Structure 1
């Protein structure tokens, strides 16, 4: 009971509004406004307290510092179902239409506090969100809804609470460790017609919001190779989460929805005294989680909710991030970035991914930091991800073509100050 109460309070405080799809699958494209302004690049850099969320080794604090920020995130997601010339008995056809999801503006907060213990040790406490999934396709023109059970959609929220420690091994090398407490919540509606495919028909849809928790760890290293070149790497472990018991008939492994591991490595090159280029590569191992990776074709051989039950069919994803920052004045930095991620959703998996159209690949970003005083800094960023579309056959009615698509835009602001 105490665990559930703590988890609920923490999630409510940190996620006042439901976050939705982040930009690389359901991972956000970066943590901290300075890094988001460079398309998430900078695992080798310590730009701000939130840098520790990308790489705990980059937690570098001068005295005691605090950072608070919020991102306004606007996704536009929709699906289209094509008309067919012939309907085959036993197939599951969707109404021929194009339907957009409701909910287009979300607020995603972040928070960090750090303290320098001594010349070797910095400690901090970092809170951030991983995006998640959110769709809500209203039952309006067709009251029966997308899957003929009313308004259809899912809502997944994930929160990371991470005490962090960085240690200076030598003048040029730092290492870091950050235990991570993860809280996630999930709800689904309008999926009752999939109950016939489930081993737990009453635990597929419409059971309100369920909460699960788990623990993981993040490790990192940062090293200055020479005066103009540095590199860094970070590894975040997979997280074994409690099952979503209320949705044990939907997700594989009786409601399992673990977090996949990920790692990121990058370099920073000081081109001139005022210009810097950063390049990162990130790998997200979605294949580690059955409920995310199992293909929809499993629905013919194993019931939903079983270990081999159908999932979203997502593939592992590599992301390439390039960022640039210019020290325009002593008080101001200007940033730009671009990233490209491999498509995690195959065209064979479009039916279930109507609920989770995490199809984004390209992201274009800009940002700035401005020192308002010796102890107060303002960080800001903008990003845009153009429309991506994945088209494929409806697995339960193969002569019907489906398409899922999304574009995204957003802006964020944070304030950091020294105490």
Structure 2
């Protein structure tokens, strides 16, 4: 029975479309998402508290269970231009046709009145990206491999994280918390740029590779007697085993398998909040450390023409949320999130199968308090990359001391995207 439950949870999370903060989801659940993901210093719901600051679950003094599911639709487009021998250019674009993907979240907190100890458990899909750009005869990067392109570009990545949280209330105003985490990740990329290409058969397609990982999170939380709150947390890098890909060339012949290590970056979060009878305000700042993370730290080509890594930069994230409690049992929520772009222009091509860039995200949501036990939440999200990420097309055969990535003169590849999502949640508070 336990294995069936785990399989269902994995199946629900293997269809991720896009995360918004690099490849990290900016919020967890309808409540937290509608607040722009801000929760480190303002724990209003158990999912946001468990995700961003384990110490903050000390504010919940009942047993609470929450389940949410969202439907994400993304609209990335990839553009490319190459020069011809006659001095003209060939340009084209391809739209993604991946469709709608589910985003689930499940959490439970075990609190008790007048107890200094609070426990929690969570199963979150915290990260993902994926595209399906069909093969094209008008967009150079999607030309068939026989014509010098990559053909159909397809990817699917997900990270499922299980957390076990403990918070201790040192005083009425101050708490500390810790959360060990266990992770499961899955990645599929076609064609597989992490594998060495054949001079005659090109890059192979891969199967679905998976890996297990582990890490943890610590946090502190302070709440005053006059509505002000503050929290700080640090989530360690999530350390994974190697992803092992079984590969097949486009003609059906077997290709050598390859391995790739892709850890999940560490995250530092600090947040403040202020609450009155009429509103709750939350503001978070996050720093995501891609630059020292396996899979993102390295970049460029290996000696055999495989991609060495994404080469992403560290990014800053600002989240702000407001909950208005002007109507009895019907709070309204508004959120905004700003994200840096982790992708440098000179290595933009390495991320065409993972264009997880949403600079500006806007959220709106509401809750309906059915009774003292049941609350229903809903959220709508709209995100935009606010422009294109662009850079030259790269070719490993053109690498030199003055052209370290093998940039093709006069070429260009770029991508942009929008995301839209509706999410619904249900929470139940036990007596």
Give me the TM-score of the superposition, normalised by structure 1: 0.87
Aligned partner of 1:316 in structure 2 is: 314
Question: Which residue is equivalent to 1:275?
Answer: 279
2:400 paired residue number: none
Q: 1:125 aligns with which of 113, 121, 127?
A: 121
1:417 maps to 2:415: no
Pair 277,418 (structure 1): closer, same or farther in 2 beyond 3 Å: closer
2:130 to 114, 128, 134: 134
Alignment of 1:29 onto 2:26: yes
Runs of 5+ consecutive residues of structure 1 not aligned to the other structure: 89-93
CA distance in 1, matches of 2:148, 2:194: 7
Deviations 1:5-33 (A, max 9, x none): 96x96364244251122001101111232
Alignment of 1:285-364 (within 5 A): 285-295=289-299, 298-299=300-301, 302-303=303-304, 310-364=308-362
Per-residue CA deviation, residues 207-261 of structure 1 (Å, 9 max, x unaligned), is: 31111001111111110134121101111100110101227999xx941011110
Kept in 2: contact 1:203–1:247 (CA 8 A):
no
8 Å contact from structure 1 (residues 147, 190) kept in 2: no
Q: Secondary structure at the match of 1:291?
A: coil
User: How far apart are the structure 1 equivalents of 2:148 and 2:331?
Assistant: 49
- Aligned to 2:295, the other structure's residue is in SS state helix
Inter-CA distance 58–247: structure 2 relative to 1 (3 Å threshold): farther
- Partner SS for 1:288: coil
CA contact (8 A) 1:125 1:163 kept: yes
Aligned-partner Cα distance in 2 for 1:121–1:46: 16
Aligned-residue offset at 1:372: 0.5
8 Å contact from structure 1 (residues 149, 191) kept in 2: no
Output the TM-score relative to the length of structure 2.
Answer: 0.84
Is residue 270 of structure 2 the alignment partner of residue 265 of structure 1?
yes
Any idea what SS the aligned residue of 2:70 has? strand
CA distance in 2, matches of 1:417, 1:387: 36
The equivalent residue for 1:76 is: 75
CA-CA distance at 1:273 after TM superposition = 3.1
Q: Distance in 2 between matches of 1:11 and 1:359?
A: 30
1:45 aligns with 2:80: no
Q: How many residues align?
A: 398
Q: Deviation string for 1:366-407 (max 9, x for gaps)?
A: 111220111000111111112431122213323111111111
Residue 107 of structure 1: how far off its partner (Å):
0.5
**Helix, strand or coil at the partner of 1:292:** coil
- Aligned-pair CA distance for 1:303: 4.3
Q: Structure 1 residues 52, 206: CA separation in 2 closer, same or farther (over 3 Å shift)?
A: same
In structure 2, C-alpha distance between the alignment counterparts of 1:320 and 1:245, rounded to whole Å:
35
Aligned alpha-carbon RMSD (Å)? 3.0
Alignment of 1:130-169 (within 5 A): 130-139=126-135, 141=137, 144=144, 148=149, 150-169=151-170
Corresponding position: 1:401 with 2:398: no
Structure 1 residues 148, 402: CA separation in 2 closer, same or farther (over 3 Å shift)? closer
Q: Distance in 2 between matches of 1:203 and 1:61?
A: 56
The 1:361/1:46 distance shift into structure 2, 3 A limit, reads same
